[in-house]
Amino acid sequence: MINNEIVNKIKSLKSDSGTHSPSIESILINCPEISIDVDACFLSNPYATDLFVDYFNNDLIENKKLRNYLEFYPPQNRQIAKVISQIIGVDFNNIFVGNGAIEIIQAVLHRYVGNNLCIVLPTFSSYYEFVKPTTKVHYFYLQKEYDFSFVIEDYLKFIKFNNCDSAVLINPNNPNGGYIEKDQILYILEELKDLDVVILDESFIHFAYEGNDMANMSIDYICKTYPNLVLIKSMSKDFGIAGIRAGYALLSKTRVDELLSNGFLWNVSGLSTYFFQLYGNKKFQDQYEIVRKNYILNTKMFISELSKIHGIKVYSSKSNFVLVELLVNISSFDFTMYLLINYGVYIRDCSDKFGLEGQFIRIASRSFEENHKIIDSLKKCLNEFFDQKNIGF
């Protein structure tokens, strides 16, 4: 049986969190009766966090350098941009560093997006929530009937038909994990080169792959070719450091200069500075690449196992999460609550996601052991449902 008191508390936390999941911390504080074993809402590589924490402990704690990063003003934006420039080989004049990718998304939506913005649905909600009141949003729906696949020519026609001056693409897309191949993305950018702004959000690109070598699919290098492009890079997911708030964007020098000319002073914290310094360390880069590729393998195996489970449909994903449709007669919210309260597995109910009609959940790939627990719990939960034994809604 489900505990309605807990459900109501979580409903209230959810309403405080807007179109995002309540954090695991706020659930634990407000519902001490719940024990969360696996946070499968959280889209982040836990092995990358392990690697980061190892370096952090050694560099800052054992070498007693942490105080410097807490006490003093961090370097200014351009100084961090120079560090990133060394890592990715892009001119620092094209790099703008943010307090997480979300600060950059906000700035670009408020300053550069024009009157007609094309957004692909389903998507990350901030892209439509943070637009200016004067921006009309045109939604290009991915169709459930076509497995949420992205048809380029339809997309380009839609933009033209609606006279869009701005567009957002997330690749791989959140929340369905659909991936547009590199050649196709380059084709799209060329076709959209006359728009005022094309935002390409590569927050999950480190989890995508095309060949067996699982090479990094980012198109960092293209930013000079298209002055209308804003390429957004979150460090939260790939490096597993969401609490630090590190992100950057690649965009035209003109726009970087404009942004820095009247704001964004000291917006990069001490710890974010430390992260970017660490990212510049060759040994760290090599270790990170191993961790990144292992996590992709782990995720592929996870998705493959999920796909075998009876009673759900798993959509194709090249990210570190999957969109899952419940084929049983239960709402996604109720299912999410049941899994959380009875199995300690916290997944993302997608009932508040625009463009997803039906019973959808999103499940993140976590560590090998956690993924096993997720699979096991899902199976048990669905079996209970089929047996109609314990589920009482």
Q: From CA 221, how far away is CA 239, in angstroms rounded?
A: 21
> Considering just the CA atoms, what is the radius of gyration of the chain in Å?
21
Tell me the closest approach of the beta carbon of residue 102 to a second copy, in angstroms: 5
Nearer to a second copy (CB atom), residue 130 or residue 368: 130
Nearer to a second copy (CB atom), residue 261 or residue 388: 261
User: Which residues of this protein are in contact with a second copy, per CB under 8 A?
Assistant: 16-18, 20, 23-26, 42, 44, 46, 49, 52-53, 56, 61, 66-76, 78-79, 99-100, 102-103, 106, 109-110, 126, 129-132, 236, 240-245, 261-267, 269-272
Nearer to a second copy (CB atom), residue 156 or residue 260: 260
Nearer to a second copy (CB atom), residue 105 or residue 219: 105
Residues with Cβ within 8 Å of 183's Cβ and at least 6 positions away in sequence, in order, are none
Tell me the closest approach of the beta carbon of residue 200 to a second copy, in angstroms: 20
Residues with Cβ within 8 Å of 87's Cβ and at least 6 positions away in sequence, in order, are 276, 279, 280, 285
Nearer to a second copy (CB atom), residue 67 or residue 157: 67
Tell me the closest approach of the beta carbon of residue 56 to a second copy, in angstroms: 7
Tell me the closest approach of the beta carbon of residue 126 to a second copy, in angstroms: 6
Q: From CA 127, how far away is CA 174, in angstroms rounded?
A: 11
383: tokens are: 């079996």
Q: What is the DSSP string of 235-294?
A: STTTTT-GGG-EEEEE--HHHHHHHHHTS-SS-S-HHHHHHHHHHT-HHHHHHHHHHHHH
Name the β-bridge partners of 361.
324, 349
Helix (H, G, I), strand (E, B) or coil at 95: strand
Nearest CA among 202, 200, 203 for reference residue 189: 200
Nearer to a second copy (CB atom), residue 77 or residue 319: 77
Tell me the closest approach of the beta carbon of residue 105 to a second copy, in angstroms: 9
Tell me the closest approach of the beta carbon of residue 184 to a second copy, in angstroms: 30
Tell me the closest approach of the beta carbon of residue 26 to a second copy, in angstroms: 6
State the amino acid at position 62 in one-letter form: E
Nearer to a second copy (CB atom), residue 299 or residue 359: 299
Phi, psi of 232 (to 5 degrees): -105, 130
